[in-house]
Structure 1
Amino acid sequence: MEVVEAVEDRATITREESSKREAETLTPELLAATKRLQSDDRFDDDDDDDTPTVLDGTSNARPEPKSHHDYFDGLQWSADGTTLLLSSAVSHRLASYILPPGLLTPPDPQGYHDLNPYCIHSLPEPIYATAIHPAFSLSNPESYYLASLRALPIRLLSPFAPGLVASYPLVSRNTEAWIAPHSLLCASQDSGTFFAGSDGRVSLFDMWRDGEEPFASIQTGRRRRRAGKVNSAQFFSDEGVGSRGVIGIVSALAMNNEKILAAGSFNGGIALLDPFREEGSVGTLPLPADTMRGVTALKFQPQPARGDYLVVASRCSNAVHVFDLRNAGAVMATLRGRKAMTQQRLGIEISADGEVMAGGTDGVVRAWDGIGMQEGEVECSREWQLHQDAVGGLGLYPDSEMTIAATCAGSRIYEDSDVSRREKEEAGSLKVWTC
């Protein structure tokens, strides 16, 4: 099997040479894909005997809306590399896909494996955020994942069986209304602590205490109380961080090996927190103007020996910013050409060797050379046309010598839209590639 390998001498490429070089368009190899892509039948049982049984997670799930086609809007790859977790935007379903053992040797004559959901949880409300525990293992029946739903407690679910494992209430002390976090993150492999980001706050929960409220919380910023609508411009400087901290809904979370928690908000700010210290807050990052539309993803460099870099993606921005936390949180590089002028969250990941990969609204996944090797304006070095619609989910196989990527694509397509059948089928697709 032919595999596209990374260029070994990337470290010698100067910034000037990289900016002049055009992105190399490569042809990926498809390893696996969902057999049926339409939302009406994608989750139904197949007639083949060897298809796994699909399980319904709740009995009170709402019927699927018929006004537009369903699509996957989020994807996560488990730490052991065996399972994919996908969320659907319209039908409010979470589906786990267990990858076949012979993933790298697709069968003949089709040339790729058929993927079918192993377990599905049909949920009563829209899904705001999910998080797989970093100690997830296919051999461990107690491997779980978290899900945040609108106007309901946070749920702990199993990828192997239906039903609710545990729940964690997050309630407003002023109104007693349910608070739905827009971001979730598990602390580490050997910890039961997880973080939930809501409006101006990060709450800490113990996963093993079913039904209990957070045991601690960190306030990322405070709004000034006044009549009328809050104008975020009154609280933020030109860099996107205000004197009152980072306000707005915490939309993305990431943690490095030093236990520093980065919390990005829809208002465009990023707070650096120490959740295990009494003070909690460490500082804020001065962000460029094009992040003011809101942070959608935060990723730390997976290899700390190569530097402590934070990658920031935001909505309605074609740029991805790389911060060097060792240098007072300065912007080290700006990765250009992402094609992400949309409010939709798009997939972004960092490979083991520090290569940033991000999906665009044009169905293309682009890659930029390793973090820390270049500064200033950086154009993408490689790209793959994997879909025909926005790449909403992107995951990389952990600890692999080759680049194996899982992608899902789609956006809202209404029945009366002038869209081809192929584009409608693409809206529900999950695919696994070698890039």
Structure 2
Amino acid sequence: METQDGPSQDRIKLVASTGDITTGYGTSLKATDGDTEAARSQDSTVSYFEKAQWTADGTTLLAYSSTNLVSGYIVPENLLTAGNELTLEPQAAIQLPETSIVLSGAPYFSLAEPWTQQLLVSARDHPIQLFCLTPSSSPSSTASTHPPISSYPFTKARSETFLTATSLIWPSPGTHFIAGSRSLLARFDLQRTGEEPVTRIRTIPSERHLSKGGGVGMRGDVSALGGQLMDTGNGVGLVAAGTWTRWVGLYDFTQAGKCVATWGIAAAVRETHMKSEQSEETRGIGGDGITQTIWSPCGRYLIICERKSRGALIYDVRVMGKLLGHLTGRDALGNQRVACDVFPGMNKNSGFEVWSGTSNGVVKVWEGVGSLEGPHAPAWEWAAHQSTIGNACLHSSGAVVATCAGSWEFPDGDDELADDSPSNSGQSHSNDSEGDSDVEAHSTADQMPWTHRRNKESSLKLWSIGGAPTLTQDAE
């Protein structure tokens, strides 16, 4: 495997970045209210990037931070010709009132048409909401706090209690979207503002009794949804739903959400343990709940990623529930979501590529996926960040890859007292005024280890890929 601690100019090159926003110089902090303190939480830890995604036209990156801020970064026109590293500045921002569980940009997003610049957001105890990403008048202006342009109630049929959409996909052409909740899938009509879903599909026959239906289906929160692209380019074929309880279901929404197959992946993970006994991965890939289901570009293979995992499972959906192989070395060892992306291979018979970040800030690339059975090691990698990479997403042209990283860490033992992070330094300054307050503060901190957390590096970066086609934008 080719390893790159410092990416070579001919393979991968850093072309734009926000810089480390935890240092106080990050541009995304300005998008709150012009004061970096506004981007801090109550315990003085700074905001960090959690996830990012390309818009449908490839002109903009949508980034979500831990302070519930959604920012839009328009890719500079001279990204690949500037010759030096550019600085990414947010051109639009929305300050969400609640923590977002999932969000999705419009599949018809176009930089040239402001009305298309929309995104769906799901939060606990709220309807699913549609926001418009209004451009800011200046990089340092206040983030938009205007209300959503429409909302879509998602409630229990009998009690009218709000359900939380724990997963969401918004496929082309954008007239409908699909949300997942506890043992339930729902399809909404975007034009029916204020209305319940037009279709509800239960993933188990009954919520109240496990024995009903003989245990058919899959129980648990639907934590991941992935749509299989259709040959026509519009809509999705099969929708792959994954749960925290480690089950996968395939549903056909071209036939009113008919269930095609369901299976558990725990046995497949044990199979990776047996297949890896002759290699360094003697423990298998592990896993503790599905975080992503993503289809190959050809729509034949399904990749399943889990939290607390060292790999990913690969299924050939022509043989339902049978494991084809698994990726090794994908270290997503925490609870934080680590999403991967796929891209077509050099030719149709050579498989496809998988790009993924890891918990230690390294991006890894697997080539020829789908062409081999059993364990599949990464072909090459490079150190992109110093913290967990939540996303490594490729531009549709294949010329640029965006990486989004950020996390907290929890020092233990004597490291807590020596730590000079914003969290602990702020605490010590506030306790200097009274002599007995230090004892009380340490006692309280021992009871609440959450207050000892400190920020690791967090940034959004764009990398050019050597030998890739030229990046183009649809906007004029």
Residue pair 1:55, 1:119 contacting (<8 A) in 2 also: no
Matched residue, 2:104: 131
CA distance in 1 between counterparts of 2:27 and 2:163 reads: 30
Identity of aligned residues (%): 31
Distance 1:413 1:279 in 2: 42
Letter in 1 for 2:58: G
For 1:38 and 1:176, how far apart are their aligned partners in 2?
Answer: 41
In 1, the alpha carbon distance for the partners of 2:23 and 2:240 equals 35
1:182 aligns with 2:189: no
| Structure 1 residues 224 and 94, CA gap change in structure 2 (3 angstroms) | closer
Among 80, 103, 108, the residue aligned to 2:57: 80
Which of 190, 200, 203 is 1:207 aligned to?
Answer: 190
Q: Distance in 1 between matches of 2:250 and 2:459?
A: 36
Instruction: Give yes or no for contact 1:223–1:247 (8 Å, CA) kept in 2.
Output: no
After TM superposition, the structure 1 stretch with the greater mean CA deviation from structure 2, 422-431 or 150-159, is: 422-431
| Alpha carbons of structure 1 residues 172 and 384: separation in structure 2 relative to 1, 3 Å | same
Q: Match for residue 4 of structure 2? A: 25
1:18 maps to none
- Greater CA drift, 135-144 or 246-255: 135-144
Given candidates 383, 405, 417, the residue that maps to 1:409 is: 405
Q: Which of 351, 361, 364 is the matching residue for 2:362?
A: 364
Displacement of 1:23 after TM fit? 4.2
Matching residue of 2:241: 263
Q: More helix per residue: 1 or 2?
A: 2
Structure 1 residue 41: deviation in Å? 6.4
CA apart distance, 1:159: 2.3
In 1: Cα distance, 2:39 partner to 2:363 partner: 34
> Alpha-carbon deviation of 1:129?
0.2
Q: 1:393 to 1:39 in 2, by over 3 A?
A: farther
Number of residue pairs aligned between Structure 1 and Structure 2? 381
124-133 or 242-251, larger mean C-alpha shift: 242-251
Conserved in 2, the CA contact under 8 Å of 1:223 and 1:244? no
* Partner residue of 1:105 out of 63, 75, 81: 81
CA–CA distance in 1 between the matches of 2:455 and 2:193? 40
Shift of 1:278: 4.0
Residue matched to 2:125: 151
Task: Please give the alpha-carbon distance, in whole angstroms, between the structure 2 residues aligned to 1:367 and 1:334.
Answer: 14
Cα displacement (A) at 1:29 = 1.3
What do you get for the CA RMSD once the two structures are aligned? 2.9
Give the aligned residue type for 2:294.
Answer: K
- CA pair 427-62 structure 1, distance change in 2 beyond 3 A: closer
**1:243-254 matched pairs, under 5 angstroms:** 243-254=215-226
Alignment-mate amino acid for residue 155 of structure 1: Q
Code of the residue aligned with 2:317 in structure 1: it is L
Amino acid at match of 2:90: P
How far apart, CA to CA, are the structure 2 residues paired with 1:174 and 1:129?
A: 25
Deviates more, 1:64-73 or 1:337-346: 64-73
**Match for residue 427 of structure 1?**
457
Alignment of 1:335-374 (within 5 A): 335-353=327-345, 354-374=352-372
Counterpart pick for 1:317 among 309, 320, 323: 309
Secondary structure at 2:22 match in 1: coil
Counterpart-to-counterpart distance in 2, 1:170 and 1:382: 43
Counterparts of 1:221-232 in structure 2, within 5 Å, are 221-222=204-205, 225=208
2:308–2:332 contact (8 Å) kept in structure 1: yes
**Closer, same or farther in 2 for the Cα pair 1:172/1:365, shift >3 Å?**
same
- Normalised TM-score (structure 2): 0.73
What is the match of residue 171 of structure 1? 155
Contact 1:69/1:414 (<8 A) preserved: no
Contact 1:332/1:376, CA 8 A, preserved across alignment: yes
CA contact (8 A) 1:286 1:330 kept: no
SS at structure 1 position matched to 2:218: coil
Kept after mapping to 2: 8 A contact 1:39/1:428: no
Alpha-carbon distance in 1 for matches of 2:110, 2:327:
34
Question: Partner amino acid for 2:261?
Answer: G
Choose 70-79 or 25-34, whichever is displaced more.
25-34
Q: Which residue of 2 aligns with 1:300?
A: 295
Contact 1:309 1:371 in 2 (8 A): no
Of 27, 37, 42, the residue aligned with 2:21 is 37
Runs of 5+ consecutive residues of structure 1 not aligned to the other structure = 1-21, 47-53, 236-241
Aligned to 1:274: 252
Report if the CA contact (8 A) 1:393-1:407 is conserved: yes
Could you tell me whether the CA contact under 8 Å between 1:67 and 1:414 is conserved in 2?
no
Is the 8 Å Cα contact of residues 156 and 166 (structure 1) preserved in structure 2?
yes
Q: Are the structure 2 counterparts of residues 181 and 41 from structure 1 closer, same or farther at C-alpha, using a change threshold of 3 Å?
A: farther
Distance change (3 Å), C-alpha of 1:119 and 1:245? same
Distance in 1 (CA, whole Å) between partners of 2:335 and 2:216 is 26
Aligned partner of residue 38 in structure 1, secondary structure = helix
Supply the AA of the counterpart residue of 1:385: A
What residue number does 1:68 align with? 45
Structure 1 residue 285 displacement after superposition? 3.4
DSSP-derived class of the 2:240 partner: strand
Distance 1:55 1:243, change over 3 A: same
3-state SS of 2:344 partner: coil
Structure 1 position 133, deviation (Å): 2.1
- State how far apart, in whole Å, the 1-side matches of 2:133 and 2:73 are: 9
Tell me if the contact between 2:409 and 2:455 (Cα under 8 Å) persists in the aligned partners: no
| Residue in 1 that maps onto 2:392 | 394
1:368-383 alignment runs, 5 A limit: 368-383=366-381
Q: What is the alpha-carbon distance in structure 2 between the residues aligned to residue 44 and residue 326 of structure 1? A: 45
Match of 1:194 among 158, 162, 177: 177
Q: CA deviation at 1:66?
A: 3.2
SS at the partner of 2:309? coil
- CA distance in 2: counterparts of 1:43 and 1:73, whole angstroms: 16
Distance in 2 (CA, whole Å) between partners of 1:34 and 1:278 is 44
The answer to whether the 8 A contact 1:352-1:399 is kept is: no
